[in-house]
Amino acid sequence: SGQPGYGPPPGYGPPPNAQASYGGYGTPAAPPPAAKSKKEMWVWLSAIIGVVVIAAVAVVLFVKPAILVPKKLSHSAVEQTIKDGSQPYGGYSNVICNDGKNITLKAGTTFSCVADGNINITVTINTSSGDYVWQPNG
């Protein structure tokens, strides 16, 4: 008798014929999770592949750094060998090989040395590990 019915006071609550959302009346429903775009997937996949490649290169360079730096034969070591006369030829003095520059180790490479008396000496590298022979010209 004169008492209003149950429910919200007039003017509150959902509009007539409204469906309730998951959050209840007056609370907006959470939007559905956005579908991942293929572009975003490729960006992530590319980033992961890039990180793996960089890590692999870093490991190789750490384990075997000589890949970037070619091995060199010391010109001064060759000069000393020729001065000492460690082959059947006599020792020489004031030997200068390859104009004082180290030589890249590669089998079959030849270079020249000069000793006192304008003696020319040919050096041939036999192996990439640094074995070589030398002999005076003439």
The model carries a pTM of 0.52
Dihedral sign for Cα atoms in the order 41, 43, 49, 51: negative
Edge to edge, the sheet with strand 119-125 lists 96-97, 110-115, 119-125, 132-136
pLDDT band per the 50, 70, 90 thresholds, residue 13: low
pLDDT band per the 50, 70, 90 thresholds, residue 71: confident
Is pLDDT of 122 > 90?
yes
Question: 7-11, 38-42, 75-79, 92-96: lowest mean pLDDT where?
Answer: 7-11
Q: What is the pLDDT of residue 53?
A: 95
DSSP state of 19: P
Is pLDDT of 23 > 70?
no
